[in-house]
Amino acid sequence: MASKITAPDYVSFDRVANLYEATRMVPADTLDRVAQIIREDARLDSSDPFLDAGVGTGRFSRHLYRNGIGVIGADISRAMLEQARSIQEGFPLIQANLYRLPFASHSLRGVLMVHILHLLEGWRTALDEVRRVLQDEAPLYLGYETGRRNPIQDIYFELATQRGIRHRHIGADSKEEVFDYLRSLDGSVTRIDGAALQWEIEIETRRLLSLLDRNPFSQCWNATESDHAKLMKELEKLMEEKGLATPIQRICGDFSLWRVSFQCTTKSGSR
Ligand SMILES: C[S@@+](CC[C@H](N)C(=O)[O-])C[C@H]1O[C@@H](n2cnc3c(N)ncnc32)[C@H](O)[C@@H]1O
């Protein structure tokens, strides 16, 4: 299954490498639970090569590593990889483009992808490539954070939309679109988290505002500094008007984890 690289069409996360973890607020115990579910589901040990494709700052990889999984993190952004390394040493991190993975065909025992396919214009090519490197019957895991967010973040995104500075992602529109494509590759898709990965955290309002002020979400990265500053002013005004300017904000979220199993493709496989 050859992969064709069409264009260097990736969204660079270099600009938010040192901000990323603070703005993607999944608690450590939830990340750890994801790692445990994967380890148990795939029956992995530390000698089984397992790829976190689009590893970012290693939010998931460091928990996979701590749970005894032989994880390798791959990402196109050197700054994100450096951040990952500064948080957790001990597992390999490589700079690679998901459109052409530097692994032999049928060499990996599993792959995880979280928060990445919506960013890749060639997301189907990336999935073809993942399938190429997976051993027969080795799983691909897909994770989706469905942040219910919080009213301040909701207003932030509404304002960005109204002001025309929020653009749609260049990659997959939804997980359903991804699942349909995977099914067309003979993948079977199963949810494996038991709908149990939910959380609620609290954050100081001024901290949340200072994070938003740094324009941390890729959908708004086309905004000029001045347009983004105007948005933040309007946000603070609306917060006052709506009585949201309390000292603490509560943020809720949940995470779903899906296993994709493919039919065998090698000669020793069933087809
Ligand atoms: C939203 S972050 C997700 C990181 C991590 N999976 C997580 O959930 O925390 C997306 C990551 O994908 C990386 N990325 C984007 N395009 C890529 C590509 N073509 N090849 C490899 N990595 C890519 C970015 O550099 C960024 O670190």
Atom of ligand 1 nearest to the CA of 113: 6
Residue 6 has pLDDT above 80, yes or no: no
pLDDT band for position 21 (cuts 50, 70, 90):
confident
pTM for this entry: 0.90
pLDDT tens, 145-203? 876 678 899 999 999 999 999 988 889 999 999 999 999 999 999 999 998 899 999 99
97 CA to centre of ligand 1 in angstroms:
10
Q: What is the assigned CATH class of domain 14-147+170-199+253-262?
A: alpha beta
Q: Does residue 10 have its Cβ closer than 6 Å to ligand 1?
A: yes
Query: What are the boundaries of each domain within the chain?
Result: 14-147+170-199+253-262
Nearest CA to ligand 1 atom 13: 54
Q: Does residue 59 have its Cβ closer than 6 Å to ligand 1?
A: yes
Comparison of pLDDT for 103 and 11, the residue scoring more: 103
DSSP one-letter string for the chain: -------------GGGTTTHHHHS---HHHHHHHHHHHHHHHT--TTSEEEEET-TT-TTHHHHHHTT-EEEEEES-HHHHHHHHHH--SS-EEE--TTS-SS-TT-BSEEEEES-GGG-TTHHHHHHHHHHHBPTTPPEEEEEE---B-HHHHHHHHHHHHTT-----SS-S-HHHHHHHHHHTTEEEEE-STT--EEEEEEEHHHHHHHHTT--SGGGTTS-HHHHHHHHHHHHHHHHHTT---SEEEEEEEEEEEEEEEPP-STTS--
Tell me which of 22-26, 136-140, 259-263 is least confident: 22-26
pLDDT band for position 13 (cuts 50, 70, 90):
confident
User: In this structure, how many other beta carbons lie within 10 angstroms of the beta carbon of residue 164?
Assistant: 10
pLDDT tens, 214-265? 999 888 988 999 999 999 999 999 999 999 889 999 988 899 999 999 987 6
Residue 58 has pLDDT above 70, yes or no: yes
Name beta bridge partners: 52: 73, 112
Atom of ligand 1 nearest to the CA of 143: 8
Residue 24 has pLDDT above 90, yes or no: no
Atom of ligand 1 nearest to the CA of 122: 19
